[in-house]
């Protein structure tokens, strides 16, 4: 399934109009260089003059001449305002727990830079340029698992990043080794910044962490939502199922959900299968089980959910999230756009259908292992049942992953723990929703991998019946490394090899080389 363009730039030009999903992935995962356009540089400098004028006036302005959160009514005299910004970043860098992945931190920083370049935050050009220099140098701030409530933005994660721009905090270099921040900056020729009025707030006031993780999850799902159609079709083949429930006249004319094009994928994967053809005549089974027959409907719902989630993602990519913001007329105004609810909801939403996809995948695997339901396959696909256990415990592993995904599908966004002395009395928990979704996507990949090796073994055990071109191509490509029948062997490496085969996109590419492009 293609949600968005996968042609990634090697250099991203960051202007006032925002960024694309492909830009985020290119920077986060492939270290694309980020350059600020002249237009953005001039606009940011122009807007900054409004902040400088406001800072010099007697008009109180949140984050410029006042404290923060529940301390917003505290006036800060001119001589303490540099300290105000430093104190803000230092105090808000209060995360704890395991460190998050490098790609998440890079997405977080790039998305914050994207908003800073919009000209609605009042940042100075030199501060924005420093953030881009850190990104381009491959320096990655250490950001922790816990610290964001998804309202007043991803405060702690962003503060850990901002601290590094000041020459403080913790970071790792391009080689992945943690070293003192001043040393890393010096080697890259980067001068630490001294934050001016409003800048500390501008650096930490965004939904960038949850949005970045959402984009990474969607990028991974693009491949998996096609892979699951392939493995489902292989399971139909291995279980002597019918392909007639996937013909086009049963789908678009009767139930025109766009995602149900998954049926066309399954039909194409099964095309030319001697196994499927072998029982088209004289078979006394009326209908296949739901996990086979209804696979396109469940996969289709997941695909349509992903498209909706992408639309919210693109809206958020076009946003300039900060508080207060600088409007086009120079007015500085408080607002509530930092609330992470729109992103949190879709992060939670996406976790539900992919948990269901995994659940259906596990049911197909279990059916292949059960001689009462597998239409002639040996128990657990074992070579010598009793002496050999076959794939019995691989299904246990799959079931454990599915159970975890069901727990991860419980929404985080319905929870709210008030903070900041009840000033921030409703929060989105979007960061937590993002962490859940990333784990759920990883689990889905592993579930699909186990179905792949099970279905390939089932297909091989149908010999001398010949599978279709798709399964034949995958079996040849894997060359016995995944899913080959035989005596019991160390299963963990085989599962890992199947997971890598799915994750790399090689499964989809191999099938498409045999049967043509899939939806």
Active site residues: 62
Residue 385 phi, psi (nearest 5): -55, 135
Q: Using an 8 Å Cβ cutoff, are 277 and 244 in contact?
A: no
Going by C-alpha positions, the residue among 325, 269, 263, 328 that lies closest to residue 296 is 263
Query: How far apart, in Å, are the Cα atoms of 500 and each of 160, 494, 497?
Result: 32, 10, 5
DSSP letter string over 371-397? TTTSSSPPGGG-SSBTTB-TTHHHHHH
Q: Angle between the 208-238 and 430-460 helix axes, to the nearest 10 degrees?
A: 20
Query: How far apart, in Å, are the Cα atoms of 324 and each of 348, 362, 457?
Result: 28, 49, 59
Q: How far does the chain reach from its first CA to its final CA, in angstroms? A: 5
SS3 assignment, position 399 = helix
SS3 assignment, position 491 = helix
SS3 assignment, position 66 = strand
Going by C-alpha positions, the residue among 218, 139, 133 that lies closest to residue 173 is 139
The pair of three-digit structure tokens given for residue 302, joined into one six-digit string: 């997941």
Going by C-alpha positions, the residue among 408, 420, 439 that lies closest to residue 151 is 420
**182-194 residues labelled b (16+ CB within 10 A) or e (exposed):** eebbeeeebeebe
């Amino acid at each position: 399934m293609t949600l968005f363009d996968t042609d990634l730039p090697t250099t991203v030009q960051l202007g006032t109009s925002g960024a694309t999903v492909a830009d985020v992935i290119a920077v986060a995962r492939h270290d694309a260089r980020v350059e600020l356009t002249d237009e953005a540089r001039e606009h940011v400098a122009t807007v900054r003059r409004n902040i400088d004028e406001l800072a010099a006036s007697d008009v109180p302005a949140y984050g410029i001449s006042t404290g923060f959160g529940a301390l917003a009514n505290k006036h800060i005299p001119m001589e303490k305002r540099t300290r105000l910004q430093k104190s803000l970043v230092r105090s808000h860098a209060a995360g704890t727990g395991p460190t998050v992945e490098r790609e998440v931190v890079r997405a977080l920083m790039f998305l914050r830079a994207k908003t800073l370049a919009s000209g609605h935050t009042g940042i100075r050009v030199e501060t924005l340029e420093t953030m881009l220099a850190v990104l381009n140098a491959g320096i990655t701030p250490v950001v922790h698992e816990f610290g964001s409530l998804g309202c007043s933005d991803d405060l702690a994660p962003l503060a850990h990043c901002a601290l590094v721009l000041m020459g403080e905090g913790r970071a790792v270099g391009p080689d992945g080794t943690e070293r003192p921040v001043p040393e890393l900056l010096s080697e890259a020729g980067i001068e630490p910044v001294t934050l001016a009025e409003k800048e500390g707030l501008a650096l930490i006031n965004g939904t960038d962490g949850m949005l970045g993780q959402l984009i990474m999850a969607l990028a991974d799902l693009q491949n998996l939502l096609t892979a699951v159609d392939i493995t489902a079709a292989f399971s139909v083949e291995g279980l002597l199922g019918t392909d007639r429930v996937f013909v086009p006249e049963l789908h678009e004319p009767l139930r025109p959900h766009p995602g149900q094009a998954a049926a066309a994928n399954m039909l194409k994967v099964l095309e030319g299968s001697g196994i499927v053809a072998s029982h088209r005549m004289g078979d006394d089974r009326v209908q296949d089980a739901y996990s086979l027959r209804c696979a396109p409907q469940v996969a289709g719902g997941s695909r349509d959910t992903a498209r909706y989630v992408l639309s919210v993602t693109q809206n958020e990519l076009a946003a300039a999230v900060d508080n207060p913001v600088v409007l086009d007329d120079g007015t500085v105004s408080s607002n509530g756009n930092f609330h992470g609810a729109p992103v949190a909801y879709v992060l939670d939403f996406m976790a539900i259908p992919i948990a269901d996809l995994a659940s259906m995948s596990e049911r197909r695997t279990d059916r292949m292992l059960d001689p009462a339901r597998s239409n002639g396959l040996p128990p657990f696909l074992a070579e010598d049942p009793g002496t050999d256990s076959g794939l019995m415990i691989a299904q246990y592993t799959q079931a454990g992953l599915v159970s975890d995904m069901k727990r991860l599908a419980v929404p985080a966004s319905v929870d709210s723990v008030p903070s900041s002395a009840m000033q921030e009395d409703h929060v989105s928990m979007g960061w937590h929703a993002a962490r859940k979704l990333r784990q759920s996507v990883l689990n889905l990949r592993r579930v699909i991998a186990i179905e792949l090796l099970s279905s390939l073994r089932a297909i091989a055990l149908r010999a001398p019946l010949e599978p279709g071109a798709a399964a034949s191509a995958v079996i040849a490509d894997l060359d016995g490394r995944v899913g080959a029948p035989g005596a019991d062997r160390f299963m963990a490496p085989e599962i890992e090899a199947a997971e890598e085969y799915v994750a790399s996109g090689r499964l989809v590419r191999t099938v498409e080389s045999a049967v043509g492009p899939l939806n």
